[in-house]
């Protein structure tokens, strides 16, 4: 996010003094005819597909008559560590901060992926999935997953999140057995209940 050599001060573009990133709303900077996308935009995830998508959305608004803003909330992200982590939407803390603890329900589950159960070195490890849900509307605010193929699992749920899926939409979906993505369709234990979140057998 190094913007110091762009000469932004010469045209009056405001930057965040904490990180030198460019402040913007709907990719429009403090100077109306100057726009920003990608890693140098303050608050934007530093992901290449995000910059590409934001650029397309901006060009459609500027030249194609669109009024569709970039959705920076429902972006699927995966960390490709040995235990992969995937997420889309709000974190639990973000959801509580925005909607209030009394409005948020967290469903969670530990599980052992089939391929791990067949390996002596991984059979003792667990995967984990979590759905953050608005209590009043049943809308899914965020999904989180630890386990194999996190990117593949999250990509499909990303479309559902963009369409405003409800928790019932997920739990009423017939899962593909035996897959790890299926674990989301069988979520039933809430964090607030204090019950054991370990998955049972099929």
List the catalytic residues.
177
Strands 127-134 and 104-111: antiparallel
What's the confidence (pLDDT) of residue 114? 85
> From CA 182, how far away is CA 23, in angstroms rounded?
40
> From CA 7, how far away is CA 30, in angstroms rounded?
14
- Provide φ and ψ at 171, rounded to 5°: -75, -20
List residues bridging with 145 in a β-sheet: 86, 129
Where do we find the tokens 């992901």? Answer: 47
Phi-psi region of 7 (alpha: psi -120 to 50; beta: other; left: phi over 0): left
Q: Is 25 helix (H, G, I), strand (E, B) or coil?
A: strand
> From CA 85, how far away is CA 91, in angstroms rounded?
13
- Which residue in 199, 202, 133 sits closest to 169, CA to CA? 133
What's the confidence (pLDDT) of residue 117? 81
User: Can you list the residues of the chain whose pLDDT is less than 50?
Assistant: none
> From CA 89, how far away is CA 27, in angstroms rounded?
20
What's the confidence (pLDDT) of residue 116? 80
What's the confidence (pLDDT) of residue 5? 87
């Amino acid at each position: 996010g190094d913007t110091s050599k762009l000469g932004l001060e010469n045209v009056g573009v405001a930057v965040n003094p904490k990180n030198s990133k460019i402040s913007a709303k709907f990719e429009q900077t403090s100077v109306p005819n100057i726009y920003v996308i990608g890693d140098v935009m303050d608050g934007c995830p530093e992901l290449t597909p995000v910059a590409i998508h934001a650029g397309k959305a901006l060009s459609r608004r500027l030249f194609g008559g669109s009024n569709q803003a970039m959705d920076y909330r429902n972006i699927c992200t995966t960390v490709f560590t040995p235990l992969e982590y995937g997420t889309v939407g709000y974190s639990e803390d973000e959801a509580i901060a925005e909607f209030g603890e009394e409005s948020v329900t967290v469903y969670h589950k530990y599980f052992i992926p089939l391929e791990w159960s067949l390996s002596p070195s991984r059979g003792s490890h667990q995967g984990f999935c979590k759905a953050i849900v608005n209590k009043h509307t049943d809308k899914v605010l965020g999904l989180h997953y630890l386990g194999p193929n996190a990117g593949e699992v999250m990509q499909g749920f990303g479309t559902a999140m963009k369409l405003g899926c409800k928790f019932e939409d997920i739990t009423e979906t017939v899962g593909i057995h035996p897959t790890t993505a299926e674990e989301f369709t069988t979520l039933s234990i809430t964090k607030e209940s204090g019950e054991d979140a370990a998955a049972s057998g099929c």
